[in-house]
């Protein structure tokens, strides 16, 4: 249940009884997305997927992505797919402050988790979505404004920035391909803003970050308002079109 400060989100553009998949449901944003979707009376099923959920997905284990997609192929279409996972830091990874901090192994891990994993989700999960000229479906991959090449004025965080910029290209090129086969599908990269999660806390502090429930509600509202002609775009939580 949601409290009064977080009214339930309704995805009115999706069909009654729509079904939703959230990859990365164990993270702060993923959990918030699941809470909103489960509170939507129009949503028939919400399935969280992640390293602590069943079916299990770990982006450092590509076979787990295909296996999870196979497990969720039950003959009924899914209408919403959100990839909310990602990494900026962990004990074996730290964002680089300067070129001299670059490490090949760490760079590769960040790309695997932030770019290759979500790309493989698209490969294996898109066939589970509703398909047809009138079969609307929404796909959102959580990116980051720091992945914008055009907006980069500070430098640093090379691996993270590069991985999100590459993710944006995955979204753009996949959207072009899917527009030919899934006429009513909308695929976008989403910037959630600075959110109060474990990912951002060491760098921005809890006081400067927004509540995950607020960010989740805003991203769902942005996706709900998008049209097929918006597919392949990079959107902020307030709907702003961000530069690549």
DSSP-assigned letter for residue 244: -
Phi-psi region of 239 (alpha: psi -120 to 50; beta: other; left: phi over 0): left
pLDDT tens for the 244 residues of the chain, in order: 455 556 667 899 999 999 999 999 999 999 999 999 999 999 999 999 999 888 999 999 999 999 999 999 999 999 999 999 998 877 887 888 899 999 999 999 999 999 999 999 999 999 999 988 778 999 999 999 999 999 998 999 999 999 999 999 999 999 999 999 999 999 999 999 988 865 555 555 545 678 999 999 999 999 999 999 999 999 999 999 999 9
Helix (H) or strand (E) holding 99: none
Residue 36 lies in a domain: yes
User: What domain count does the chain have?
Assistant: 1
Residue 90 lies in a domain: yes
HSE-CB for 39 with a 13 A CA cutoff: 19
Angle between helices 158-181 and 104-111 (to 10 degrees): 30
| The pLDDT value given to residue 8 | 66
- For residue 42, CA distances in Å to 14, 16, 24 come to 9, 5, 22
Residue 10 lies in a domain: no
| The pLDDT value given to residue 52 | 87
Residue 211 lies in a domain: yes
Residue 45 lies in a domain: yes
Residue 109 lies in a domain: yes
Residue 190 lies in a domain: yes
Residue 161 belongs to what domain range? 18-236
pTM over 0.85: yes
State residue 234 phi and psi, 5-degree precision: -115, 110
Residue 158 lies in a domain: yes
- CB contact burial 33-49 (16+ within 10 A = b; e otherwise): bbbbbbbbeebeebbbb
| The pLDDT value given to residue 40 | 97
CATH code for the domain of 134: 3.40.50.720
Sign of CA dihedral 132, 172, 17, 220: negative
**What would the DSSP string read from start to end of 9-50?**
P--TTSPTTEEEEEETTTSHHHHHHHHHHHH-TTEEEEEEEB
């Amino acid at each position: 249940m949601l409290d009064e400060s977080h009214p339930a989100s309704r995805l009115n553009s999706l069909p009654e009884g729509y079904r939703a998949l959230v990859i990365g449901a164990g993270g702060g944003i993923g959990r918030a997305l699941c809470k909103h979707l489960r509170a939507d009376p129009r949503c028939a099923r919400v399935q969280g997927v992640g390293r602590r959920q069943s079916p299990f997905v770990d982006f450092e284990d590509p076979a787990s992505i295909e296996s999870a997609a196979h497990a969720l192929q039950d003959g009924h279409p899914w209408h919403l797919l959100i990839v909310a996972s990602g990494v900026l830091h962990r004990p074996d990874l730290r964002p680089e402050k300067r070129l001299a901090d670059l490490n090949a192994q760490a760079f590769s891990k960040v790309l695997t988790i932030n770019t290759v994993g979500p790309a493989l989700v698209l490969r294996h999960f898109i066939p589970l979505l509703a398909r047809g000229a009138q079969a609307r479906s929404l796909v959102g991959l959580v990116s980051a404004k720091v992945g914008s090449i055009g907006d980069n004025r500070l430098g640093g965080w090379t691996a993270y920035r590069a991985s999100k910029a590459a993710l944006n290209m995955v979204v753009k090129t996949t959207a072009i391909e899917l527009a030919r086969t899934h006429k009513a599908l909308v695929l976008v990269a989403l910037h959630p803003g600075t959110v109060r999660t474990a990912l951002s806390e060491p760098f921005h502090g809890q006081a400067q970050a927004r509540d995950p429930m607020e960010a989740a509600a805003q991203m769902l509202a942005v996706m709900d308002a998008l049209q097929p002609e918006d597919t392949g775009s990079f959107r902020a939580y307030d709907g702003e079109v961000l530069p690549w």
